[in-house]
Amino acid sequence: MTPRVVFPNKLLPYLLLLPQLAITLVFFYWPASQALYQSMLREDPFGLRSTFVWFANFRRVLNDPNYINSVQVTAVFSIATALLSMAVALLLAVMADKVIRGRGVYRTLLIWPYAVAPAIAGMLWLFMFNPTMGTFAYMLRGAGYNWDPLLNGPQAMTLVVAAAAWKQISYNFLFFVAGLQAIPKSLIEAAAIDGARETKRFWTIVFPLLAPTTFFLLVINTTYAFFDTFGIIHAVTGGGPGKATETLVYKVYNDGFVNLILGDSAAQSVILMVIVIALTAFQFRYVERKVHYG
């Protein structure tokens, strides 16, 4: 039985918690309360006059076809980004776990993209697939494929998903490699002795034991797709063409900072916060039931 830790000073635990509580209060609760208050105001663009309208901003936002389109775009974008980045990262982690020579160099090269800022990652992919001067765009046109993400909505979505997933692969790779190294080799060797092939060993032993890591990354990647991909979308497509890549977080920026519709933008930020919290709670409530911690 683990002995219980007792602090000799009754004030010490609260002092240790105080910095984290202060950071949470200043950078989350205070901005969230301000957004909630502003979402119930109707303000002119210059902030000279405001009217308290209760939930009128929410009703207008939820009845706006462009906002419904952003919800659909965000759902497609977040699911595709999370699944693609996690699947590729898992594949690379399995391959890296088998490398004998140069394992450290191989892993370091795979981690590098995580150090790239989202806007820079977006610009890299935009240059490579730019329809007029991009190298890969030239190769696609040479193969007879009419590539133009600046005018084609599905192609633009494909490009931002690829850029966002590429940016997150390194983060997922780190955790999958750590998870693979924590699996006892004796279990895999015993299955191999019993005649189980490599593919069967992976799906029956390795992947179930990676369930806690996979669940953690599912939550992190969902949050990443909702919020941290703003820089990529802004650099690559700007929400276009025709709002085909305008996610919820980009619409908050577009309405608030570009069109200066402050009340609607604040209402959208509150709705986005509620969606992410509800989605995370759903994942912990139902998805985690299928996760077995060894």
Q: What is the pLDDT of residues 183-222, one digit of tens each?
A: 888 888 888 888 878 888 888 888 888 888 888 898 899 8
Query: What six digits make up the tokens of 146?
Result: 């009419």
Say which amino acid occupies 111: I
Query: What six digits make up the tokens of 282?
Result: 């759903």
pLDDT value, residue 69: 93
pLDDT value, residue 200: 87
pLDDT value, residue 43: 78
* pLDDT-based confidence at residue 156 (cuts at 50, 70, 90): very high
pLDDT value, residue 94: 87
**Does 233 have pLDDT greater than 80?**
yes
Consecutive H or E run containing 173: helix 153-182
Query: What six digits make up the tokens of 200?
Result: 């069967």
* pLDDT-based confidence at residue 294 (cuts at 50, 70, 90): low
Consecutive H or E run containing 52: strand 50-52
**Does 112 have pLDDT greater than 70?**
yes
**Separation between Cα atoms, residue 252 and residue 33, nearest integer Å:** 17
Which position has the higher pLDDT, 95 or 45?
A: 95
**Does 77 have pLDDT greater than 80?**
yes
**Separation between Cα atoms, residue 223 and residue 201, nearest integer Å:** 31
Q: Which residues contact 291 (CB under 8 A, 6 or more apart)?
A: 211, 212, 214, 215
Mean pLDDT of 28-55: 82
**Does 119 have pLDDT greater than 90?**
no
**Separation between Cα atoms, residue 42 and residue 56, nearest integer Å:** 9
| 46-62: pLDDT as tens digits | 767 788 888 888 999 89
| 275-290: pLDDT as tens digits | 888 888 887 777 666 6
* pLDDT-based confidence at residue 22 (cuts at 50, 70, 90): very high
Largest interatomic CA distance in the chain? 76
Average pLDDT over all residues of the chain: 85
* pLDDT-based confidence at residue 135 (cuts at 50, 70, 90): confident
**Separation between Cα atoms, residue 138 and residue 127, nearest integer Å:** 11
pTM of the model: 0.85
Residue 93 burial (10 A CB sphere; 0-12, 13-18, 19+): buried
* pLDDT-based confidence at residue 172 (cuts at 50, 70, 90): very high
Query: Tokens 């949470």 correspond to what residue?
Result: 24
Peptide bond preceding 241: is omega within 30 degrees of 0, i.e. cis?
yes
* pLDDT-based confidence at residue 100 (cuts at 50, 70, 90): low
Say which amino acid occupies 87: A
Q: Are 66 and 251 within 8 A, CB to CB?
A: yes
Backbone angles phi, psi at 135, to 5 degrees: -65, -50
Percent helix, percent strand, percent coil in the chain, to nearest 5: 75, 0, 25
% of the chain beyond a pLDDT of 70: 93
* Residue 37: how many other CB atoms lie within 10 Å: 12
Check residue 152 and report its DSSP letter: -
**Separation between Cα atoms, residue 201 and residue 183, nearest integer Å:** 12
3-state secondary structure of 79: helix
**Separation between Cα atoms, residue 66 and residue 265, nearest integer Å:** 13
Mean pLDDT of 134-150: 86
